[in-house]
Structure 1
Amino acid sequence: MTYDTSKSLNKKKSIDNLKTSGFERRLSIAKTSLNIGRRWAGNSVSGMFMDKQARAARNQAFMETQANYMAEELGKLKGSVVKIGQMLAMYGEHILPPEITRALHTLNDDTATLNWSKIEETLAHTLGDKLHELDINPEPIGTASLAQVHRATVKSTGEEVVLKIQYPGVADAIDSDLALFKHMLRVSNIVPQTRALEAWFEEIRDLLHHEVDYEAEAATTERFYERLKEDARYVVPKINRHYSSSRLLCMSYEAGVSVTNPTLQNLSDERLNRIGQAAIEIIMQEIFVWGEMQTDPNFGNYLVRVADDEDGTDKLVLLDFGAIRQFDDALLTIARNLLLAGYNHDHDAMARAMTGYDFFDTMSPKVKSDVANLFLLATEPFSAPECNPDIPADCLDDQERYIWANSVLHSRLAETARQAMQSFEFNLPPKEFMFISRKFIGAYTFLTVINAHTDSKRLVKPFLPAI
């Protein structure tokens, strides 16, 4: 759930209802599936007499068109169907055609708002008489595929809160939506049906059921609140249990602006550096200290509370603790060894650290070496400059801090990964590593946007005392 408290959503289209009944959703998705299937058949017939090259080009263009049509139709439904598409786009590049992942990436949470009368009806059902204790602004400050956020005031105390209100029926529709989504992919014939795809659907099922459990999210938010309450660089909303339930989350209102807000561009370089350092340090804490991570890589899950003057502390407001994943000690040990190898820019140590999963253990020496090179590049911002001669000269400032905006690290990683994957004969990467890598990619984007410079030693040493 993302919102910028400096903006209003009053220009968004409002809808009166959601298609949450199984019949409506089945009808909508069945229509989409049949249309794609019919067009696919027509495309195959009409391309029978083309040469191989022309047919391949035609099929790619057709796939692009149909993938965009599918994403457009899914975007009209809200609910878990949209979330399923988003998750497949996020983690599915290894199992889906690129045309599909590109189209699914267009699904976003910047959707129409649900009419206030429907939200109020949901709140009345959830809160009962307690609804009258709140003065709620009917204008939402945030929307998503599963929920909508409204500001409110507790009348008796004046406490400012936000209500994260789950759309009615979306939790109950998860399993049927997954079945419908899989059926659409099968009938439309645009995605190969593989065991890997089925395994990811099961993972998405678990994630979605966890994400709609607001009691679990409340508990997670409280854990992070306790962990960070003494660190002035972070703000975690405080849960108000009196108005919270399994489908409604009430928490303190925390002001801030989005990462892309022009206000941030007016801050000094050093202030932006401190914000960037804090953003990456929280991920290090999640992995190496707490063993649980908010896996949604969208940097919209941050707000920034800008201090009033140069001497104040700019704060990261951390939002949305629904997509949490716990990691066991075995994985954390592997992650520490990978980080240590990256810090020392040691290819052999990186290859040795790659173990404990079939993904690593079944690789040939050539493939393992290629993947080790990929991991060395991914850990470039965490490497000691004196150990890593491969850091581009313009990516270090005069204090040997890493300059994110100059690094073009994301595109370099994409190219290296593309080259490495040409020789891969392995299974899909472990989902835990995909979650972690995606979270870091989100952080890398965040740090690039604000043009931060970060200190690798400060980032790594607290978590690897041996350095």
Structure 2
Amino acid sequence: MSDIPRRGAARTAKLASLPLGFAGRTAAGWGKRIAGQTSEQVSADMSAKTAEQLFSVLGELKGGAMKFGQALSVFEAAVPEELAEPYREALTKLQSGAPPMPATTVHRVLAEQLGTGWRSRFASFDDSPAASASIGQVHRAVWSDGRDVAVKVQYPGADEALRSDLKQVQRFSRLFQAVAPGLEIKPLIAELRDRMVEELDYRAEADNQRTFAAAFDGDPEFLVPKVVASAPKVVVSEWVEGVKLAAVIASGDKAQRDEVGRKLSVFHFSSPARSGLLHSDPHPGNFMVAPDGRLIVIDFGAVARLPHGMPTTLGRMSVLALEDRPTELFSLMREAGFVRPGIEMDPGAVLEYLAPFVEPMRGDIFHFTRRWLQGQANRFGDARGPEMEMARSMNLPAEYLLIYRVTMGSIAILCQLDAELPFWDIVHTWQPGVREA
């Protein structure tokens, strides 16, 4: 009998512990207030403990729960520093860690996907996983022609686990506000859920990786490993090694962090123009720095298909906002569907609302900091502030949702890096609609 139902029940039980823990901390919080602690002290304590439990539970899980945790971990830079420290390490672990599956299970999947003679395709195969992620784990091996390769093997039952876990996570979405104040969690969960089926097909991921590898082949700044072989639940690609981005964030010197930040931005904005695709899983676990300084990019399961590059409308909106042309900006936004039908708004107020989004484009160099991101999160997360009222009148068209999430995730990584870079120059070079506006 399969043990997938039992594993699913265990995951559900762990996820169910989250709201129970939150309820207990809420009750304890009332007691502390009675004992004389301020509401701010109690709130900070509860937020830290909620986040600590949240990432501790997600860190033990595979499937959709861990996938969501990885996506959310990018926004760690938006959390106030006094709350971030207790669980920053747990967040980092989510970016690359998960319990391994037994070697016998790995061998069974390889036989199903590559044929019963799968061992003949390898000169050697290491049964101990070199890395693990949300729906699969990676093994180091040597291909029959002598190349070092990475073999990504999908967990059996990953499709069931993904759907089940995301359904559970969606029920507890309000708890995640303790981790990223101001972040709209429900649309993020819905968008991640919609990407699950696509990510489960490793053949599609391999095709995406081939496209990226061809687009960046020979580039002196980027390295995308080439695909060697693929099947629905197995991908074999060239083995690459480098310093993990999490290590650069934690201990890289300023010059290294600035340079990595610049390359991340160039990759983000140039990929659609060069490959017709946007890498849509921007968390530090998917990036490394090669010994020669190139930025290594891996994991192409989630992409946005942009055959004509980034939407021209975004570039035109950016220029109109930078040039303080509110009437034209509002007209373009209404035409593109960024304003809800029938809503009348002050174009000047709309321009003021969008100012933080274009702030990094002002000036030759912009310094992305945690403090800056925290300020924006607090600004847009204030339910009583004018920004929230403005947000209710705005709309994010479906075709822009993934681009928005990926761009915000990439900016969050820049803030984790504390990077200074010529952001406007990069946007001006690669974003369609900027030069034409």
Q: Same fold (TM over 0.5)?
A: yes
Determine if contact 1:148/1:167 at 8 Å carries over to the other structure. yes
| Consecutive unaligned residues in structure 2, runs of 5 or more | none
8 Å contact from structure 2 (residues 128, 139) kept in 1: yes
1:320 to 299, 305, 313: 299
Letter in 2 for 1:152: A
- Equivalent position SS for 2:130: strand
1:250 correspondence with 2:236: yes
1:62 to 46, 55, 72: 46
Mapping of 1:273-312 within 5 angstroms?
277-288=262-273, 290-307=275-292
From 371, 374, 399, the equivalent of 1:411 is: 371
Q: How far is the alpha carbon of 1:332 from its aligned partner?
A: 0.6
Query: Could you list the per-position Cα deviations for residues 380-408 of structure 1 after superposition, in whole angstroms to 9, with x for gaps in the alignment?
Result: 3xx5x4xxxxxxxxxxxxxxxx3x6xx24
Find the residue that maps to 2:159 and give its secondary structure: coil
2:107 corresponds to which residue? 120
Q: Which amino acid aligns with 1:460?
A: H
CA 1:438–1:198 in structure 2 vs 1: closer, same or farther (change >3 Å)? Answer: closer
Could you tell me whether the CA contact under 8 Å between 2:203 and 2:232 is conserved in 1?
yes
Amino acid in structure 2 at the alignment position of 1:147: G
Give deviations 1:288-309, integer Å, cap 9, x for gaps: 56553112222442333334xx
CA distance in 2, matches of 1:141, 1:274: 27
- 1:418/1:360 CA distance change after superposition, 3 Å: farther
Give the match for residue 6 of structure 1: none
Q: AA paired with 2:298?
A: L
CA–CA distance in 1 between the matches of 2:5 and 2:103? 16
Q: Which moved more, 1:206-215 or 1:24-33?
A: 24-33
Contact 1:280 1:443 in 2 (8 A): no
Does 2:117 align with 1:130? Answer: yes
Aligned to 1:151: 140
Structure 1 residues 281 and 65: alpha-carbon distance in aligned structure 2, compared to 1, 3 A threshold: closer
Offset at 1:226? 2.2
> Using the alignment, how far apart are the partners of 1:436 and 1:325 within structure 2?
9
Q: Which residue of 1 aligns with 2:311?
A: 332
Amino acid at match of 1:80: G
* Number of corresponding residues: 404
Task: Please say which structure displays the higher CA radius of gyration.
Answer: 1
Q: What SS class does the counterpart of residue 240 from structure 1 fall into?
A: strand
Tell me which of 337, 351, 361 is aligned to 1:379: 361
Asked if 1:218 is matched to 2:181, the reply is no
Q: Using the alignment, how far apart are the partners of 1:104 and 1:90 within structure 2?
A: 11
**1:49 to partner: Cα distance:** 6.5
Distance in 2 (CA, whole Å) between partners of 1:278 and 1:60 is 35
Residue 82 of structure 1, CA deviation: 1.6
CA drift at 1:152? 0.9
Q: Distance in 1 between matches of 2:423 and 2:347?
A: 33
Q: Does 1:460 align with 2:420?
A: no
Aligned match of 2:414: 444
Alpha carbons 2:360, 2:424 under 8 Å: kept: no
Q: How does 1:19-30 map to 2 (within 5 A)?
A: 21-30=7-16
Sequence identity percentage: 20
- What is the CA distance between 1:374 and its match in structure 2? 1.1
Q: 1:40/1:19 Cα in 2 relative to 1: closer, same or farther (>3 Å)?
A: farther
Match of 2:189 in 1: 201
More helix by share: 2
Query: Residue 373 of structure 1 aligns to which amino acid in structure 2?
Result: A
After superposition, give the CA deviation of every residue in 1:316-367 in whole Å (9 maximum; x if it has no partner). Answer: 322111221235879712212134347xx41226944544234588554454
Q: 1:103 offset after TM fit, Å?
A: 6.1
**What is the CA distance between 1:81 and its match in structure 2?**
1.4
Shift of residue 182, structure 1, vs aligned partner: 3.2
TM-score (norm 1): 0.70
The structural deviation recorded for 1:36 is 4.1
Name the CA shift for 1:335/1:409 in 2 (closer, same or farther; >3 Å). farther
Q: Which amino acid aligns with 2:361?
A: T
Return closer, same or farther for 1:429/1:302 CA change in 2, 3 Å cut-off.
farther
CA contact (8 A) 1:295 1:439 kept: no
Letter of the structure 1 residue corresponding to residue 161 of structure 2: A
Cα distance between partner residues in 2 of 1:199 and 1:442: 18
- Bigger Cα displacement from structure 2, 227-236 vs 168-177: 227-236
CA RMSD of aligned residues (A): 4.5
Alignment pair present for 1:423 and 2:386: yes
Report how far residue 250 of structure 1 moved. 0.9
Q: Which amino acid aligns with 2:351?
A: S
Q: CA distance change for structure 1 residues 49 and 293 in 2, over 3 Å: closer, same or farther?
A: same
CA contact (8 A) 1:137 1:151 kept: yes
Matched residue type, 1:239: V
Distance 2:57 2:185 in 1: 21
The residue identity in structure 2 corresponding to 1:71 is F
Aligned residue in 2 for 1:168: 156
